Amino acid sequence: MNPKVPAQNLKELLALLKKDPGKLTYGSAGNGSTMHIAPELFKATSNTFITHIPYRGGGPALSDAAGGQVDMSFPVASAAAQFVQGGMLRGIGVTGTKRSPLMPNVPTLAEAGLSAYSFETWFIVFAPAGTSQVVVDKLNTTLNGTLNNPTLKARMTKEGFDPIPSTPAQAHQRLEKEIPVWAKLIKECGINAD
């Protein structure tokens, strides 16, 4: 959040948003981006309203949040960290389930008082339908081995990523669980990708 916004923490931000719905703005990487969906979930979870300003990319949205052209943004931790550490932005909360090692003093939004909120970007590797189980298992073993490599793991952590090896069954379960949640939010909020 831009430091000029008169809120030092989540509690004060929520009070400000409830007092003047729609007065504050957030910049996103564009309609349908994760930087758009994360704040829409925030709005739905906190029963508040922040005006969406879509940009053509996360960099311009984040720069304009630091410059005060928009009041806040929901960027990835690796992009936000330098702005927060430099005092150009105020870190109110991390959207995931645990604090970012890049900003250890910034609480999760759940820790800060919005216990029902959690938004994490994650990546999954797919293979074409009909790929043999032998090939799927080999790909999974190779990817998990790579993610467990100490050098790569350290590099990914430094960049704000949390490498979590899994199985095809675990990935499938996560997809089955999350698709209805995000489909509902996207429909209710009228989110469209440009």
State the Cα–Cα distance between residues 52 and 64, nearest whole angstrom. 13
What pLDDT does 149 receive? 94
In this predicted structure, the answer to whether residue 194 has a pLDDT above a threshold of 80 is no
Q: Where are the domains of the chain?
A: 10-119, 122-194
State the Cα–Cα distance between residues 71 and 50, nearest whole angstrom. 9
In this predicted structure, the answer to whether residue 16 has a pLDDT above a threshold of 90 is yes
Q: How confident is the model at residue 159 (pLDDT cuts 50, 70, 90)?
A: confident
Q: Which residues pair with 136 in a beta bridge?
A: none
| Structural element, H or E, at residue 72 | strand 72-73
For the 10-119 domain, the top CATH level (class) is: alpha beta
What pLDDT does 162 receive? 86
Q: Please list, in sequence order, all residues whose beta carbon lies within 8 angstroms of the beta carbon of residue 17, skipping any fewer than 6 positions away.
A: 24, 46, 48, 49, 50
Average pLDDT in the 66-81 region? 95
Give residue-wise pLDDT tens across range 132-141: 999 999 999 9
Give residue-wise pLDDT tens across range 119-155: 998 889 999 999 999 999 999 999 999 999 999 999 9
Q: Please list, in sequence order, all residues whose beta carbon lies within 8 angstroms of the beta carbon of residue 28, skipping any fewer than 6 positions away.
A: 35, 36, 39, 52, 53, 54, 55, 58, 61, 73, 74
